[in-house]
Every structure is written in C-alpha cells, then in structure tokens.
Amino acid sequence: MAKLRLHIANSTSKHPVYHITSERWAAAAARHPDLASALDVSMSWDGAGLDEALASADVGIGVPADRSRLAERAPRMRWLHHTSAGVDALLPFDWLPPALVLTNNRGAHGRKAQQYMRMAYTALNVRLPRMIDNQAARRWERLFSPSLEGQTALVIGLGDLGEAAARAARQLGMKVIGVRRHAKPCEHADRVHTFDELDELLPSADYVAIAVPLTAETRHLLDARRIGLMKPTAGLINIARAPVVDYDALRAALREGRLSGAVLDVVEPEPLPPESPLWDTPNLIITPHVSCDDSEDYVAISLDLWFANFARFLRGDALEARVDAKLGY
C-alpha cells in the first residue's frame, strides 16, 4: 500500500516548546511504529519549501502562515491539524477548503492546566496577590484566609481547560458549577448551566474560572456589568483568551476593592508591553501564557494525540477535536 504523505510545518517564531523537531518526531514514531510506517514525512521551517511539500501532502500538521489558495496549493490534503487548542488566530475560516478537515490540539493541555488551576485557586484564597503587593511596598499586613473546602468555583467553559479547572476545584474540596452552551452534565461539576443563566450564577461564586474559546459570542463575555455582579471577596482566573474579559473593567474592580484578586495567564497584546497599566494593577498576578503547556512533554503529548487520530483517519472514522467552522472552535 502506498504511504500517505504527511507534511509538518514549523515556525521559529514560536517558542521551542512547540517545535516538532526531527528528534521529537522520531521519538513519537517509535512509540507508534505501525502507524508511522504508513507515512512518508517531510518537514519545513518558516515556509521554506512549503509549496512544494503541500503539492503532494495528504495530511498536514501545522497551519501555514500563508493560507491563501490552500485548495489549489494542497489539492490532495484531506486533514490539517493545528498545534494549538485555540483557533481564534485562524478566523475567519474563509481560507479553509470545504473538503479539508481541520482539527486542533484539544486534549494536550488538561494535565498541566489542572496543576496551574490548583495553584491559582490556592493563591487567590490565601490573598497572595495582596501579599506580593505588600512585600513590594514593605508593608506588614496579616491576612488570614478560610479553607478552600466548601467554597464555590464557577467554571465558564467545560472543554479540555474547563474540565481541568473543574477537576482542580474538586481536588481542593470545592463545589463546582459549570457553564457552557448546552447544559450537558459533566462528571467533574456538581451541576451545569447554560450561558443565559450566567448573571444568576456569578453572585454565588467565590472563584470564576474563564476557560471558553474566543468567538464573537464570548468576546467580553465578562464585561463591566457582569464583573459588578461578582461579590467583592471573589477571585477571577483567566486561562482562555484575554478578550473574553473586559480588562479595563477588571482593573477598575481590583483597584477599587470590588474584587479580591485575579490571576491572568492571557493578556492582549502578547508580549504585554511595559507601558500596559495591567503591570501596576493591585491584587493581580500575571503569568506569561504558560498555564497549560508542559515544558518537557508538550510535543510528545500532542503527537500521541495526533497518532490516535491518525488511526481513526485510516479507519475512516470521525476525527476527534474537529473544528466547527460555524461555531469558530
């Protein structure tokens, strides 16, 4: 049987954590020898030789920066895999040929995100953002805190990241309320509601975890009005995308003591410029978009998921983590 042509497109503008090098591919192929034997693999960096490779590729890993005329440039390609979970940078999907299936890296982030969320919940509970501010100001203020057990985490979005946030809350003995498009039960949440119930849920939350994809519907989902519905002792954690939250309104709430604290792993733009007022916002911890990606095993985890999907592709089964162009994720 003829081998399928796989092309892997890399970009040196991305952090090396995400690079699918020849060595990392070889290690993954050794873990999946039967599946790897069905592939003829090529690799490019920063678009060098990309068009020549696309002309004969059946499947691809890594969405090219130049996506123009993709149906013409990659006439045989049936499946393209994006090496990130978020696809908002690829919108609008007018470049995506109708016959080409696009998948994302959903499932590669949950383990690390769960660990980060445990840290974030605990940091907010012990008032760590305020303590960091006090240390910088050489101010002694004894801040006592209750146990996390029995407190309530409101997790907005129940995909890979949201489930990780829910699992972390459960591990810490918290009650978990989930919010998503459909009120389908989640094993890690005590109950699940839809977005149209969000206003009624926010006042009861001790922690609000943002884990939804960025779409036209979720942009500024947590706006000034909804931030105002949160109780002043509550904390906010965003591991999704910055525009889901109105950060100007969040800054005002933190400065005025209308929220206890926040942990943000995503900002806009990234990198955050030195002049951004977020840097000087009190009761805020900023981490540089590192919450969900394993520094040692991100590519290994990603390629293992890809090979599992490749097995489905060979069988003619529906692929996991397929992106819905209409929904935008």
Per-position DSSP letters for 217-251, written without gaps between them: TTTTSB-HHHHTTS-TT-EEEE-S-GGGB-HHHHH
Q: Could you tell me what percent of the chain has a pLDDT over 90?
A: 99
**273/245 Cα distance (integer angstroms):** 19
- Averaged pLDDT for residues 78-89: 96
| Coil, strand or helix at 57 | coil
Whether residues 50 and 185 share a domain: the answer is: no
pLDDT digits over 313-324, tens only?
999 999 999 999
The CATH number of the domain holding residue 251 is: 3.40.50.720
93 and 43 both lie in a single domain: yes
Do 237 and 176 share a structural domain?
A: yes
Is 17 contained in some domain? yes
What per-residue confidence (pLDDT) applies to 258? 98
C-beta separation of 60 from 42 below 8 A: no
Q: In the sheet that 79-81 helps form, which strands lie side by side, from edge to edge?
A: 39-45, 4-10, 59-61, 79-81, 101-103
Domain count, the chain: 2
- Tens digits of per-residue pLDDT, 250-260? 999 999 999 99
**Inside any domain, residue 328:** no
Q: Note the pLDDT of residue 31.
A: 98
pLDDT on residue 278: 98
Active site residues: 241, 270, 289
Does residue 174 sit in the same domain as residue 25? no
Reported confidence tier of residue 272, pLDDT bands at 50, 70, 90: very high
Question: Domain residues for 168?
Answer: 110-286
3-state secondary structure of 286: strand
Confirm whether 135 is domain-assigned. Answer: yes
Mean pLDDT over residues 68-85, rounded? 97
pLDDT higher than 90, residue 104? yes
Q: Are residues 254 and 169 in the same domain?
A: yes
Task: Judge whether 320 lies within some domain.
Answer: no
For the chain, the residue count is 329
For residue 325, being part of any structural domain is answered with: no
Q: Is the pLDDT of residue 1 over 80?
A: no
Please state the pTM of the whole predicted model.
Answer: 0.95
Q: What is the DSSP string of 84-102?
A: SS--GGG-SGGGS-TT-EE
**Average of per-residue pLDDT values in the chain:** 97
DSSP string, 147-190: -STT-EEEEE--SHHHHHHHHHHHHTT-EEEEEESS----TTSS
Q: Over the stretch 191-237, which tens digit does the pLDDT of each residue have?
A: 999 999 999 999 999 999 999 999 999 999 999 999 999 999 999 99
**Same domain flag for 123 and 272:** yes
Tell me if 321 is assigned to some domain. no
Is 323 a member of any domain?
Answer: no
> Does one domain contain both 95 and 15?
yes
161 lies in some domain = yes
82 burial via Cβ count (<10 Å: 0-12, 13-18, 19+): buried
Q: Sorting pLDDT into bands at 50, 70 and 90, what band is 7?
A: very high
- Give the tokens for residue 287: 């981490």
Residues 276, 302, single domain; the answer is no
